[in-house]
Amino acid sequence: MAAGRQAVRLDDAEIAEFLASNMKVQVGTLDAEGGPHLTTLYYVLDDEGRITFWTYASSQKIVNLRRDPRIACLVEEGDEYFDLRGVTIRGRAQLVEDYEGIKAIGRKVATVMAGGIDLGAEGDAIVEAQARKRVGVIVEPVKVASWDHSKMTALPGQAKA
């Protein structure tokens, strides 16, 4: 199975392109009992290619990350089996709590959510107001796994399912 797993793995350039071309991430943190807390958020990549997002300071994920900074992220796409592609990142969350840092992350996330268009003065005012209630999160990767099922080939005489 290792050869099969290696065959579908994305290389570093493919991972970077895949993460840059998506905008939603499923985030897992650990609750007080050690169970998973899952949510989906919009994200951007910072200058180092790390997943970065903002969320309300009072959210359960921030409560969890203050207690235990371990985090798991999943970015995936595809509907049919041979179209499935994804990247999982296990890492540690670095919390961004300075207003300017939060605002910068928020502006990037809001721009992605707006389809890349300039937010204008009104959009900037919304981001500035929201930044006072939020925390930024930068995911420091520890372990990365990836897959692209389109790289699979069927066995001789079989068609892809």
Confidence at 2, pLDDT banded by 50, 70, 90:
very low
* 33-80 residue pLDDT tens: 999 999 999 999 999 999 999 999 999 999 999 999 999 999 999 999
At residue 3, the pLDDT reads 57
- Whether residue 154 is contained in a domain is answered as no
Domain membership flag for residue 159: no
Residue type for position 63: V
Domain containing residue 123: CATH number:
2.30.110.10
Would you say how long the chain is, in residues?
A: 161
Domain hosting residue 33, numbered range: 2-149
What is the model's pTM?
Answer: 0.89
**% of the chain beyond a pLDDT of 70:** 92
- Of the two residues 22 and 122, the one the predictor is more confident about is 22
Rounded to the nearest 5 degrees, what angle is found at the Cα of 57, between the Cα atoms of 26 and 47?
A: 60
How many domains does the structure of the chain reveal? Answer: 1
- pLDDT tens profile 78-134: 999 999 999 999 999 999 999 999 999 999 999 999 888 888 888 899 999 999 999
CA distance linking residue 15 with residue 65, whole number of Å: 25
The reported pLDDT for the residue numbered 155 is 45
The answer to whether position 160 is within a domain reads no
| Residue carrying the six token digits 């995911």 | 139
- Across the beta sheet with 51-56, the strand order is 36-42, 24-30, 70-77, 85-96, 134-148, 51-56, 44-45
Report d(CA 111, CA 49) in Å as an integer. 17
